[in-house]
Amino acid sequence: MRVTSQDGRRPAVELHFHLLHAVDDGPSTMAESLELAQLAVEQGTGTVVATPHVRPDFVDDVWELPGRVAELRAALAAEGVPLTVLCGGEMGHTMVGRLGQPELELLAQGPVGARWLLVEAPFEAIGEDFHAATAELRDRGFGVLIAHPERSADAAVDGATGLRRELAAGSLAQVNALSLTGQHGFEARRAGLLLAEQGLAAVVASDAHGPTRPPALLAAECKLAASPAGPDIAKRLAYSGPRQLLARGMVERVPVTA
């Protein structure tokens, strides 16, 4: 399959994407994984970081993941789907103290010295336990990318107080594409657009799970471009931001006061 080029750009990068089958609430079969991968490629994506839920109710033994990724890579090659898949995870903050350094390294992205981890924002408020977990990750040498803070009650009710404290400590924020397209509801859409407009979001990712939650990076970029955030922020969040975060690691800091 030929990679679709959007305006002649290089292939896009997805940093949050449930692509492995039968490990969490993402695709249930290899066929569904391949279908999701193909949809991503058709949107111009060249690299997906596979990020299954790493938490007690889904993946709690991360050492099974490299084999899963290898199995998927082989299937993609056999089907001729030109997609690079990297091994990652969407870590629940309660897992931080349970994972050793090699396990965190297995889930982390970015070059040595600028490694970072994707940590799931709680749907309830971002509380002291979350701040303590991200502080521990920083102490252990990892930056933190917070997954979908716009879906947290912190954004909807608390004016993103917890997120702002995280950003001031050095974390970055990843907004879901499907929040921006309205699929996660009115509040998540409003919060996501506001985070982008205010410069509090670093990247957008699909957080794809399957047919009902498909890749939506291009649709999100269009929504952002037409919003008060505008086309420059849209392009940075959906395209250049993810590429840079993967290639250069977490070296940026958002100038936000708590």
Positions in the binding site for Fe ion (CB under 5 A) = 90, 207
Minimum distance, C-beta of residue 113 to Fe ion, in the bound complex (Å): 26
Q: Kind of pairing, strands 203-205 and 172-176?
A: parallel
Q: What sections of the chain are H helices per DSSP? A: 30-42, 65-79, 101-107, 128-139, 153-156, 161-169, 177-180, 186-197, 217-225, 230-235, 241-248
The label of the residue with tokens 């993941």 reads 65
- 19, 58, 113, 133, 230 from 180: Cα distances, Å: 21, 26, 32, 27, 13
Most distant pair of Cα atoms in the chain: their distance: 50
Compare residues 90 and 103 and give the one whose CB is closer to Fe ion. Answer: 90
Compare residues 17 and 239 and give the one whose CB is closer to Fe ion. Answer: 17
Q: Taking a C-beta distance cutoff of 8 angstroms, is the pair 224, 201 a contact?
A: no
Three-state secondary-structure class, residue 47: strand
Minimum distance, C-beta of residue 78 to Fe ion, in the bound complex (Å): 27
Minimum distance, C-beta of residue 26 to Fe ion, in the bound complex (Å): 8
Minimum distance, C-beta of residue 203 to Fe ion, in the bound complex (Å): 14
Minimum distance, C-beta of residue 147 to Fe ion, in the bound complex (Å): 6
Compare residues 24 and 256 and give the one whose CB is closer to Fe ion. Answer: 24
Burial 144-174 (b: 16+ CB within 10 A, else e): bbbbbbbbbebbbeeebebbbbbbeebbbbb
Compare residues 99 and 119 and give the one whose CB is closer to Fe ion. Answer: 119
Compare residues 172 and 256 and give the one whose CB is closer to Fe ion. Answer: 172
